Amino acid sequence: MSAAVIFDLDGTLIDSAPDIHMIANEALKIVQAPPITLAQTHDFIGEGIYKFVEKMRDARDLPQAFQDALVDDMSKRYNDAVYLTHPYDGVVDALSELSKQYRLGVCTNKLTSATEAILKHLNLFDNFDLICGGDNPLGYKPNPAALLHMFDKMGCDKQLFVGDSEVDSQTAIAAGVPFFFFTKGYRKKPVDEIEYAIAFDDFKNLPNLIADFILLK
């Protein structure tokens, strides 16, 4: 296979915010804090669990002393937080088609065990050659080190990254690879303020977009 396609997870392949919202509010109960909203959950997703909890604490005016307890509680719940999550429309068919033509991977800031658990629950796991979570030793996105390491291991001469956010765009730019931007995910800025090679809003179009892009390159 001549091309490697690596995907972000939350907000790109799956809408996981309802499950993350649920476990975040369960964690807040242990410090007797009021719940966050689903809209706030969307805003906090994207930079890994530690940043998520920092933002959640700020929103609820909670001290730094609560950080580790909240992270630990959410981490313990993460692997079972699968029942409110679903793939975006067209993802299942797109991955099935793409996996027959290219090497596929997932590079996410979500914990690796939680990433594998949700992909297995949704029957998506077998589409991927490599999976890398945010607890890898190379660091969280937008640091491109984990993404570059994955591309190196996949050994393909053409590479691209698919994501939904400013963090994903920054990661692709830092890695020097084209960014395919799913515009219906968890981005915080308008589409025209985010740098990308190709933008799309429907996964049924992605296989053809990738094929055409690779041919031009």
Backbone CA torsion sign across 40, 182, 77, 22:
positive
Coil, strand or helix at 209: helix
Query: Could you list the active site residues?
Result: 8
Cα gap 60→88, rounded to integer Å: 30
Alpha helices in 45-193, H assignment, sequence order: 49-59, 67-78, 91-99, 112-121, 145-154, 166-175
Cα gap 187→161, rounded to integer Å: 16
